[in-house]
């Protein structure tokens, strides 16, 4: 199948981040030994980000530079109370415009879209996270607009930390989201960080192991392809589940190499050597073992791409009064590009999370023995794996082909069952209310 063939083309994104590792280690070495002053540290990560953008995205790197330029103008021309609305509105409009350009080329013109454009829009999504995180900090008075930290006559330098935060080469192509204040404190105090070479080597080995396992799984799938006319139900579900594992491994590898790149520069580590060993995963997007062994889809939703989940909770969930859960997942579909697979996948995920809360609240108090609790955990884990597979396939395929694959293999029955259970629980709660609450 074409989708299996395309899985071999995903390594270039990992390679681009892997090739950035020596520069991150160079930054750590120069900063630790005092060869970089504070200004030159900001210049290093900023210029590194600009060069990386031009090399990987070509002409489409202008999307990022234009967005950064407009963001700086907004920050220095608006007050703390209004800045977030302007940043959010303009950045989402700019990002959505390019998502629609991609959809127009794919669905209307039926033309292939440049991989550089895909990567530029993907980086634009990450920049949206950092910009809105900064604007929310200003709105909530967690920080002030940088401007007085430099001597008179060098006021232009006040722009440098903010531009470096947006275009930081360690997080430009992917990586866990950190706040502006965390970034500034990291740049100022990078020298006390412990040597990252050993931990980075271990994380690179883990990425290679994941990629080797993915390669073996893809090889088996290619030599035993799924045939809708001849394959049985069990093999169909097994094949699609294997595809879901392959797609999830891509996420795990990207998260780990992004975390590794940040660690190489000294970011994402909490070092208190007098008390305990350094925590090199203090700023991480997720751990594959934790996610794969989870038996509740609601916990997976919080652990999957963890820093993005926290950003969505702060940006949408905490600010919505009506149906915050569904609004959060709907916004996530918008942020990802509003493809048909995104809409169906994220809304089905939201329904499954809501159903999981109801099922756990209803079932858990009624489990009296260890055997019944173990059986419930087993069935819950299977349901979580099936839901996660459906969501990943729908989102990664983007168009209707992923939804058709889920329907013909009957795997789509799992999210449908969760939606039915959610409807039953919602109807039951409505009926049990006091008659006066309906008025």
**429 carries an active-site annotation:** no
CA distances in angstroms from 288 to 165, 196, 374, 377, 385, listed in the order given: 28, 21, 22, 19, 13
Out of 84, 99, 336, 342, pick the active-site residue: 336
Q: Is 317 exposed, middle or buried (0-12, 13-18, 19+ CB in 10 A)?
A: middle
Q: Are 411 and 390 in contact (CB under 8 A)?
A: yes
Out of 305, 339, 342, 418, pick the active-site residue: 305
**Sign of the four-CA dihedral 33, 39, 45, 49:** negative
**357 carries an active-site annotation:** no
Taking each helix axis from N to C end, the angle separating 11-18 and 233-264, rounded to the nearest 10 degrees, works out to 10
**Torsion angle, CA of 398/404/405/411, rounded to 10 degrees?**
110
Q: Among 172, 159, 185, which Cα is nearest to 76's?
A: 159
113-119, long-range: CB within 8 Å, 24+ apart, which pairs? 114/60, 115/12, 116/56, 116/57, 116/58, 116/59, 116/60, 117/57, 117/60, 119/13, 119/56, 119/57, 119/60, 119/173
Output the DSSP codes for 14-75.
HHHHHTTHHHHHHHHHHHHTT-S-HHHHHHHHHHHHHHHHHHHHGGGGHHHHHHHHHHHHHH
Q: Are 267 and 437 in contact (CB under 8 A)?
A: no
Q: Which residues are catalytic?
A: 305, 336
């Amino acid at each position: 199948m074409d989708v299996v063939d395309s899985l071999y083309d995903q390594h270039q994104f990992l390679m681009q981040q892997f090739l950035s590792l020596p520069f991150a280690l160079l930054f750590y070495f120069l900063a630790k030994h005092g060869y970089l002053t504070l200004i030159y540290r900001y210049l290093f990560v900023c210029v590194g980000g600009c060069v990386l953008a031009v090399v990987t995205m070509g002409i489409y790197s202008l999307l990022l530079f234009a967005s950064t330029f407009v963001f700086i103008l907004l920050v220095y021309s608006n007050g703390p109370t209004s800045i977030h609305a302007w940043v959010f509105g303009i950045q989402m409009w700019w990002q959505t415009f390019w998502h629609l350009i991609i959809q127009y080329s794919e669905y209307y013109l039926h033309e292939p879209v440049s991989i550089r454009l895909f990567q530029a829009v993907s980086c634009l999504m990450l920049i949206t996270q950092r910009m809105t995180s900064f604007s929310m900090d200003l709105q909530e008075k967690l920080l002030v607009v940088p401007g007085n930290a430099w001597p008179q006559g060098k006021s232009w330098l006040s722009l440098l930390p903010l531009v470096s935060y947006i275009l930081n080469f360690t997080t430009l192509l992917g990586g866990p989201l950190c706040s502006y204040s965390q970034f500034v404190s990291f740049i100022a105090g990078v020298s006390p960080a412990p040597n990252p070479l050993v931990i980075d080597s271990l994380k690179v080995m883990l990425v290679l192991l994941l990629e080797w396992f993915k390669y073996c799984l893809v090889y088996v799938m290619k030599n035993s392809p799924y045939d809708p006319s001849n394959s049985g139900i069990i093999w169909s579900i097994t094949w699609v589940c294997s595809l879901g594992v392959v797609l999830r491994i891509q996420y795990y590898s990207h998260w780990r190499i992004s975390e590794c790149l940040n660690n190489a520069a000294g970011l994402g580590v909490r070092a208190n050597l007098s008390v305990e060993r350094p925590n090199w995963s203090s700023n991480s997007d997720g751990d594959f073992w934790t996610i794969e062994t989870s038996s509740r889809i609601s916990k997976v939703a919080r652990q999957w791409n963890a820093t993005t989940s926290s950003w969505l909770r702060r940006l949408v969930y905490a600010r919505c009064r009506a149906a915050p859960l569904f609004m959060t997942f709907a916004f996530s579909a918008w942020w990802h590009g509003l493809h048909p697979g995104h809409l169906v996948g994220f809304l089905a995920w939201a329904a499954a999370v809501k159903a999981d809360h109801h099922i756990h609240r209803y079932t858990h108090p009624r489990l009296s023995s260890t055997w019944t609790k173990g059986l419930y955990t087993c069935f819950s884990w299977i349901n979580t794996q099936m839901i996660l597979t459906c969501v990943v396939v729908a989102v990664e395929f983007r168009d209707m082909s992923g939804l058709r694959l889920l329907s013909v293999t009957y795997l789509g029955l799992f999210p449908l069952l969760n939606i039915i259970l959610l409807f039953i629980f919602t109807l039951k709660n409505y009926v049990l209310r006091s008659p006066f609450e309906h008025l």
